[in-house]
Structures are given as structure tokens and as C-alpha cells.
Copies of this chain bind each other. A is one copy, B any other.
């Protein structure tokens, strides 16, 4: 009695139909069905038609989970984000998805919501569900266990420029330092001398690098970068609002404000408006990130252009090339 599993009892209507059902319906072995569906081996025309007919009749759809188990490839890319606020992440995912989809990969997306313990959980559950990962963990803590896990999976970091041990991983990032440097120099070129800076979160790598860019540029003015011109922020609109209020109280007042991201710049803008300070007549305002909608603000906001979807696309390309090179 060959292939006992082919004699499984008839399934109910709603139950999932498997390759076994198709094989039985077509009167062939499961191997043949697989071959027809994947075109992996020559199979006779008549047989092929019988199989296809059975597939159609039963509405069979292959179970990709089982497939990836044996093929050892899931055709899925994991994406770990710190959060999903603002337009930035949508843009990023769009870029990732665009190249992933073209290459036949799907995206498994999760947010850590700041909790570093959550990151580990997510990474664990992703094991066996993805072929590789994109980590956007500016403030991700990498403990030994996590590193060991990552060592086994192709991984690309986004905007985490190898804090400590991460050096051995691939990384893609915005040119934070260079961007902030040019923006500040641009403002200096306009004649500004008292250019304030609204910082991002303390431990955020991007934020730190942007701050350094501002400092480096400001080192050119007599007296160097003035710590009093730095206002704390956490990338949120609210913190931008607060920071702007604070900066406006300085004597003498800054003639320009450069926020470490656009969200804070938008917050600062509404603070300025509330205080009756005109932009750009009374004060210049600049941001960093260039989320699309910023272009429609009145008054227009100057912003460092970081092509976010392209960033995502590059990360996906890089990750896929690592994976296809043999993980």
C-alpha cells in the first residue's frame, strides 16, 4: 500500500486543500504535482493538464510556509522600526517595499516602540520567518545574545553607524554630519551668525551626528559654537515648540533656528507664529529630513534633503545582495 498519506479522508469544503488532495484528484503522486507547479522537471503534457485541472477544480494554493521550511528561504525581509510616527517611516517602507516586491520578497514589519526588550523579542520571532533584516535602531541596544542572533542572519543597519560592536554589520545611512554641516554653512552664507540648533534625543546617533555637523560649521564663527544656542529636543513637534519658545528668550535673539528634524521644525514654526515672529523676515528656520509635506508649508521651510524612499531602496538592495550571495 503505497503513500499512506494519499488515503487521507476527504476534506470538508472549507478546509485547506493540500498538494495531497490535488495528487489524489489528478491520480498522480504529490511529486508530480510539485513538478508541474514549479516546472522543475519534464512532465508529460496530458499529465500536466490533468494536474492543472485538479488544481483549478479544488482551488489549490500552495502553502508558502511549508515551502519555505524545506527550501530554507522565506522570501521575506524583516524590518524593525523604532516607531511609526510621522511621514518618515511610511516613506522608508515604501522604498523598501518597492525593491523587495520587484525581487519577489515581502516585508515583515514591526515596531519596538522604544522598548529595547521588545526588539529582542521581535528579532527572535522573526527567526525562521525572514531571510534577512533591516534594522532601524538608532537607539537600539545590542547585547551579546542579540549580536549572536544577528550574526546568523543577513542584516543591514539603517542610520546606526556602528556604535560599538555593530561595526561588523552592513550599514546604510543618511549623511547626517555632512547634511547638517552644509545647511549650517548655507545659513552662515546668508549672513547669519547666531544660528540656534534644536537637538534630537541624546542617545540617537542621527541626532548626535547632526549636532556635530552644526558644531563643526559654527566653529568657523568667532567664539565658536555657543552652547547657549543649543536647545534640547526629542524629535517630536511638541519639543520643537518648546525649544523655539526657549530660544526666543535669548538675548540677543538668534537670527536663525536649525532643527535636527522636520517635525521639530514644524513645532518651532507654530511657536514662532504664536509669538508673532515672522519667518523668514524676523528669523530663518531650517529642518532636516525633507518629508514631502514640508514643501507645502507657509512660509516654506528650508530643509536638508534626505531622499528617504531611496534610502529604504538602497537598504533593501544591499540586504538582497547579501542574501543572494548566500546569506
A171 to chain B minimum Cβ distance, whole angstroms, is: 20
B68, B94, B269, B270: the one contacting A65 at CB < 8 Å is B68
Q: How many angstroms from the CA of A122 to the CA of B149 in the assembled complex?
A: 29
Cβ contact within 8 Å between A108 and B76: yes
List chain B residues, Cβ under 8 A from A66. 69, 128
Q: Enumerate chain B residues within 8 angstroms of A14, measured Cβ to Cβ.
A: 151-152
Task: Tell me, yes or no, whether A215 is within 8 Å of chain B by CB.
Answer: no
**Which of these binds chain B: A132-140, A174-182, A243-251, A291-299?**
A291-299
- Interface status of A273 (Cβ within 8 A of chain B): yes
Across-interface contacts of A152 in B (CB, < 8 A): 14, 16
- B128 lies within 8 A of A111 (CB): no
Give the interface size class of chain A: 35 or more
How many of these chains are in the complex? 2
Q: A14-B151, A237-B296 are in contact. Are A129 and B90 (CB under 8 A)?
A: no
- A93 to B85: give the CA distance in the assembly, Å: 10
Does A273 contact B293, Cβ atoms closer than 8 Å? Answer: no
A125 at the interface (CB under 8 A from B): yes
A204 to chain B, nearest CB (A): 19
Docked complex Cα distance between A89 and B92 (Å): 12
Does A203 reach chain B (CB closer than 8 Å)? no
Asked whether any CB of chain B lies closer than 8 Å to the CB of A221, the reply is no
> Given A65-B68, A125-B64, is A101 in contact with B110 using a C-beta cutoff of 8 Å?
yes
Whether B269 lies near A61 (C-beta < 8 A) is: no
Pair A125/B59 contact, Cβ less than 8 Å: no
C-alpha spacing A291/B292, complex, angstroms: 13
Could you say which residues of chain B place their CB within 8 Å of the CB of A293? 87, 266, 291, 293
Give the residue name and chain of the B residue nearest to A95 (CB): B84
**Contacting pair A113 B125 (CB below 8 A):** no
Q: How far is the CA of A145 from the CA of B108 in the complex (A)?
A: 25
Interface assignment of A303: CB less than 8 Å from any CB of chain B = no
Which residues from B are CB-within-8-Å of A266? Answer: 293, 296
A64 to B148: give the CA distance in the assembly, Å.
17
Q: For A84, give its contact among B68, B94, B111, B291 (CB under 8 Å).
A: B94
In the bound complex, CA of A232 to CA of B253 (Å): 48
What residues of B have a CB within 8 angstroms of the CB of A21 in the complex? Answer: none
- Residues of B near A85 (CB, < 8 A) are 90, 94
A305 CB-CB contact with B under 8 Å: no
Task: Find the B residue at minimum CB distance from A110.
Answer: B106
In this complex, the member of A106, A110, A148, A266 whose beta carbon has the largest number of chain B beta carbons within 10 angstroms is A106
Asked if A63 lies at the interface with its beta carbon under 8 angstroms from chain B, I say: yes
User: Is A199 positioned at the interface, with any CB of B under 8 Å from its CB?
Assistant: no
In addition to A65-B68, A66-B69, A298-B299, 11 A-B residue pairs with Cβ atoms within 8 Å of each other are A14-B152, A61-B127, A62-B127, A63-B128, A64-B126, A67-B128, A74-B129, A76-B129, A93-B93, A237-B296, A267-B296
9 contacts between A and B (CB under 8 A): A14-B151, A59-B145, A63-B128, A85-B90, A86-B87, A90-B93, A93-B109, A97-B109, A97-B111
Closest 5 interchain pairs by CB?
A90-B90, A63-B128, A65-B128, A84-B94, A64-B128
